[in-house]
């Protein structure tokens, strides 16, 4: 009962039964709460409910495969499940609202923790967005991470555009321009995805920002950079060494994409971290450095005279993190080097107004308005990725505020009228922001508040059922911790390449585990 007052610890020791806690979501927001609760309440029972067929949420399906160090927290969670097997249970392939309701969870548990992230992607609201080979950054990331049901992009074009200036935009760009290389081959990317990337013909990625030869990624955050990096890494060793599934590596290996353009709506001084308003690009220095040093790929950035002047005048007074990021951008904006076969370009102050398509409905370009000159320009591309971030989703039955978000009593507690204690952790509690370290701090606060509240109030006098009992009555198949470890072991035998996304669709390994 570490961290709790002595009086609270004494009260918990007198409880008639162990507190029962349900956690919705097995990503970092939920599992860090589990860790804090299990350490503070030695006699509690925790059930984790996850909508995906396998655990770990955004760590598994949102982190770029060539960033294995970000996934190290999985080792901690593995040890947590193993050490607490008698009181920590996992129920994957169970969706709240489909297989079990929020009200049922409240009836069956003393406390419910909502930690299911921000599921809905912001959509690009322009004509032509439904054209073929137009993807959100989240959809593209889901594909190269082998999420079940993700649509496969066509990579038989040379030019791609990424709209957005965040880390996901850079991820998409990097993956595209790494296709067929060693970087991806060493990741956990499935072999079929590596193969698809290896056949990619994309050789130019243009990054276009609304602030401050071509596939286009719209957005200037880390997701945009992820998409760019993956596209431009296709066929390389970088992805081959990742956990990317083999079928995705195969698809990337055939990619013809060689130019990725990243488009940002504002200017370069607007491009990251909301903490330093008004200097807002959303990608981070780590992601940008990775992109500008990507082997076999050149990088350019278009800056207007007005933006160059603003940067020179304000650089010395910027906060240190923003200053370092801006200095890196300036160092690489107009490098004196020959253009490589694969190329990444970053554009600012462009807002998409229409997506252009050919007679068969396939994307052929994007029409943009330059906010400085108010002129329209067309950028040709055969693949367009827009990376505009995520929005919160409120589950049925969970109280909402006037903005359509979870109604919070304070930073961790949900405003409910019932006797069940309800909390929210991570992105679903607030706006989608920050990295895993931020979520870890948020989750620790939730765990501390939950344990303190139970210590003050005790457990409920009556519990109706449990997740396991309700799922059995409804005939719902779910993945247990033991079944997940069997899938995990099989992936390790395949060199840490993901299989679950593809395998579950093919009804093989996962079904065998369900029957066991």
Write down the pLDDT at residue 418.
86
pTM: 0.86
**pLDDT of 86 higher than 50:** yes
**DSSP secondary structure string for all residues of 202-219:** EEEEEEEEEE--EEEEEE
119 annotated as a binding-site residue: no
Are residues 468 and 344 part of one domain? no
Number of folded domains in the chain? 2
**pLDDT of 314 higher than 70:** yes
Are residues 201 and 189 part of one domain? yes
174 annotated as a binding-site residue: no
* Span 95-119, pLDDT tens digits: 999 999 999 999 999 999 999 998 7
125 domain-assigned:
no
Are residues 453 and 324 part of one domain? no
**pLDDT of 274 higher than 60:** no
The mean pLDDT of 384-388, rounded to a whole number, is: 89
**pLDDT of 151 higher than 70:** yes
The β-bridge relationship of strands 342-347 and 297-301 is: parallel
Distance CA 504, CA 173 (A): 28
Q: 370, 390, 410 — which closes off a domain? A: 390
Task: Give 162 or 31, the one with higher predicted confidence.
Answer: 31
* Span 319-341, pLDDT tens digits: 888 889 888 888 887 777 788 88
- Which of these ranges, 30-34, 82-86, 388-392, has the smallest mean pLDDT? 388-392
Are residues 366 and 318 part of one domain? yes
The mean pLDDT of 259-279, rounded to a whole number, is: 60
Distance CA 113, CA 430 (A): 14
Write down the pLDDT at residue 446.
98
Beta bridge partners of 370: 350
Are residues 91 and 167 part of one domain? no
Return the exposure string of 51-81: e unless at least 16 CB atoms fall within 10 Å of the residue's CB, then b.
bbbbbbbbbbbbbbbbbbeebebbeebbebb
Three-state helix/strand/coil letters over 42-56: CCCEEEEEECCCCCC
Distance CA 346, CA 302 (A): 6
59 domain-assigned:
yes
Are residues 144 and 279 part of one domain? yes
Q: 347, 369, 390 — which closes off a domain? A: 390
Write down the pLDDT at residue 181.
65
* Span 45-79, pLDDT tens digits: 999 999 999 999 989 998 888 888 888 999 999 99
**pLDDT of 509 higher than 50:** no
Going by pLDDT thresholds of 50, 70 and 90, the confidence category of residue 219 is: low
CB under 8 Å to 184, separation ≥6 — which residues?
Answer: 65, 66, 175, 178, 194, 197, 230, 233, 234, 235, 236, 237, 238, 239, 240, 241, 242, 244, 249, 252
Q: Do residues 425 and 411 lie in contact, with contact meaning Cβ atoms separated by under 8 Å?
A: no
Task: Give 86 or 2, the one with higher predicted confidence.
Answer: 86
Write down the pLDDT at residue 512.
45
Write down the pLDDT at residue 506.
34
For residue 77, CA distances in Å to 30, 88, 317, 345 come to: 11, 11, 42, 39
**pLDDT of 13 higher than 70:** no
* Span 114-138, pLDDT tens digits: 999 987 888 889 999 999 999 998 8
479 DSSP assignment: B
494 domain-assigned:
no
For residue 215, CA distances in Å to 161, 189, 341, 371, 444 come to: 4, 22, 14, 21, 41
Residues 219, 221, 224, 225, CA torsion sign: positive
Distance CA 102, CA 364 (A): 44
**Domain, as residue range, for 75:** 1-118+392-479
475 DSSP assignment: T
Are residues 107 and 40 part of one domain? yes
Q: Do residues 60 and 34 lie in contact, with contact meaning Cβ atoms separated by under 8 Å?
A: no
CB under 8 Å to 42, separation ≥6 — which residues?
Answer: 1
CATH (domain of 41)? 3.40.50.720
486 domain-assigned:
no
Q: Do residues 401 and 152 lie in contact, with contact meaning Cβ atoms separated by under 8 Å?
A: no
Q: 390, 422, 446 — which closes off a domain? A: 390
**DSSP secondary structure string for all residues of 73-139:** HHHHHHHHHHHTTTTEEEEES--BTTTB-HHHHHHH-SEEEE-----EEPP--STTTTSBTEEEHHH
Write down the pLDDT at residue 515.
38
The mean pLDDT of 16-31, rounded to a whole number, is: 95
Give me 33's structure tokens.
């709460």
Write down the pLDDT at residue 433.
73
**pLDDT of 317 higher than 80:** yes
CB under 8 Å to 510, separation ≥6 — which residues?
Answer: 53, 479, 483, 487, 500, 503, 504
Task: Give 504 or 25, the one with higher predicted confidence.
Answer: 25
Going by pLDDT thresholds of 50, 70 and 90, the confidence category of residue 212 is: very low
Task: Give 306 or 384, the one with higher predicted confidence.
Answer: 384
Distance CA 253, CA 510 (A): 27
396 domain-assigned:
yes
Beta bridge partners of 385: 135, 217
493 domain-assigned:
no
Give me 88's structure tokens.
């920590």
46 domain-assigned:
yes
96 annotated as a binding-site residue: yes
210 annotated as a binding-site residue: yes
Are residues 153 and 252 part of one domain? yes
211 annotated as a binding-site residue: yes
Return the exposure string of 397-410: e unless at least 16 CB atoms fall within 10 Å of the residue's CB, then b.
ebbeeeeebbebee
159 domain-assigned:
yes
Are residues 425 and 378 part of one domain? no
CATH (domain of 299)? 3.50.50.60
Are residues 63 and 25 part of one domain? yes
Write down the pLDDT at residue 409.
94
- Which of these ranges, 65-69, 409-413, 506-510, has the smallest mean pLDDT? 506-510
**Which contiguous run of DSSP H or E holds residue 198?**
helix 191-198
Are residues 167 and 290 part of one domain? yes
Are residues 329 and 195 part of one domain? yes
Distance CA 447, CA 423 (A): 9
């Amino acid at each position: 009962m570490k961290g709790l007052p002595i009086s609270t610890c004494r009260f918990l020791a007198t409880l008639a039964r162990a507190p029962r806690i349900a956690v919705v979501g097995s990503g970092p927001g939920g599992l860090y709460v589990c860790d804090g609760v299990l350490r503070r309440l030695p006699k509690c029972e925790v059930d984790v409910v996850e909508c995906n067929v396998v655990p770990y949420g955004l760590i598994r399906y949102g982190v770029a495969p060539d960033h294995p160090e970000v996934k190290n927290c999985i080792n901690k969670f593995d040890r947590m499940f193993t050490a607490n097997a008698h009181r920590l249970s996992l129920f994957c392939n169970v969706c709240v609202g489909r297989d079990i309701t929020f009200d049922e969870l409240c009836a069956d548990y003393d406390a419910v923790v909502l930690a299911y992230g921000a599921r809905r992607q912001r959509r690009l609201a322009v004509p032509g967005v439904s054209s073929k080979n137009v993807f959100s950054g989240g959809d593209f990331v889901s594909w190269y991470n082998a999420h079940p049901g993700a649509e496969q992009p066509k990579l038989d074009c040379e030019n791609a555009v990424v709209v957005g200036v965040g880390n996901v935009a850079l991820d998409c760009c990097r993956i595209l321009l790494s296709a067929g290389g060693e970087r991806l081959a060493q990741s956990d990317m499935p072999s079929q995805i590596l193969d698809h990337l290896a056949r990619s013909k994309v050789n130019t990625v243009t990054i276009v920002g609304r602030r401050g030869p071509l596939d286009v990624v719209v957005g200037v955050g880390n997701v945009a950079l992820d998409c760019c990096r993956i596209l431009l890494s296709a066929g390389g060793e970088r992805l081959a060494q990742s956990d990317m599934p083999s079928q995705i590596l195969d698809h990337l290996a055939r990619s013809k994409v060689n130019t990725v353009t990243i488009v940002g709506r504002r200017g370069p001084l607007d491009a990251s971290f909301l903490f330093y308003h008004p200097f807002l690009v959303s990608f981070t220095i780590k992601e940008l450095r990775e992109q500008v040093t990507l082997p076999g790929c050149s990088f350019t950035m278009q800056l207007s005279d007005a933006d160059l002047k603003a940067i020179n005048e304000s650089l010395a007074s910027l906060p240190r993190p923003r200053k370092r990021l801006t200095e890196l951008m300036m160092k690489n904006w107009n490098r004196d080097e020959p253009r490589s076969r694969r190329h990444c370009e970053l554009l600012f102050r462009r807002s998409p107004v229409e997506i252009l398509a050919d007679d068969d409905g396939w994307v052929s370009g994007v029409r943009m308005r330059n906010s400085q000159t108010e002129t329209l320009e067309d950028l040709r591309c055969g693949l367009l990725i827009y990376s505009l971030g995520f929005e919160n989703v409120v589950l049925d039955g969970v109280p909402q505020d006037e903005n359509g978000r979870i109604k919070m009593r304070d930073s961790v507690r949900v405003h409910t009228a019932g006797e069940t204690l309800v909390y929210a952790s991570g992105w679903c509690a607030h706006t989608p922001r920050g990295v895993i370290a931020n979520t870890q701090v948020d989750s620790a606060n939730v765990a501390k508040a939950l344990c303190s509240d139970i210590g003050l109030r005790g457990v409920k006098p009556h519990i109706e059922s449990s997740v396991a009992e309700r799922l059995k009555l409804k005939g719902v198949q779910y993945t247990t911790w033991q079944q997940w470890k069997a899938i995990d072991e099989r992936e390790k035998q395949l060199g840490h390449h993901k299989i679950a996304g593809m395998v579950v669709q093919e009804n093989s390994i996962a079904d065998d585990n369900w029957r066991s």
